[in-house]
């Protein structure tokens, strides 16, 4: 399984235990390149991602994105759009 921008599945699971309301209290996501805080990264993926094919759960989203990275060597198209700010 490929880590997503240095976030391991174990880290993802730990941070994803917080509620969506907790994530909403974090600093608003900016351009991906300046997101250095793990919680901000997870918030960025977990609350800003437009779900594809039912991947709404944090861990499902991690697994889906990780598998896509493994197979294609890049982030899924919907995540790429977010990174580009579209």
Please give the pLDDT value at position 35: 40
Q: What is the DSSP string of 3-49?
A: -BTTB-HHHHHHHHTS-HHHHHTSPPP--GGG--SHHHHHHHHHHH-
Kindly state whether residue 4 falls inside one of the protein's structural domains: no
CA distance 23 to 18: 7
Encoded tokens for 54? 């039912």
Range of the domain at 16: 9-83
In a domain, 29, yes or no: yes
Q: Over the chain, what is the mean pLDDT?
A: 58
> pLDDT grade, residue 19 (50/70/90)?
very low
Top mean pLDDT of 10-14, 34-38, 46-50, 61-65 is at: 61-65
Span 44-81, pLDDT tens digits: 665 555 444 444 456 666 677 778 888 888 777 776 66
Asked if the structure places residue 72 within a domain, the reply is yes
| Inside any domain, residue 54 | yes
- Count of domains for the chain: 1
> Does residue 49 lie in a domain region?
yes
Tell me if 3 is assigned to some domain.
no
């Amino acid at each position: 399984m490929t880590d997503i921008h240095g976030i391991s599945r174990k880290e993802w699971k730990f941070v994803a235990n917080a509620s969506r309301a907790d994530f909403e209290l974090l600093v608003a996501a900016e351009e991906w390149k300046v997101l250095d805080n793990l919680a901000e990264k997870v918030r960025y993926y977990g609350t800003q991602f437009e779900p594809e094919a039912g991947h709404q759960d944090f861990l499902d989203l991690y697994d889906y994105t990780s598998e896509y990275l493994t197979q294609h060597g890049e982030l899924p198209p919907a995540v790429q759009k977010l990174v580009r700010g579209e």
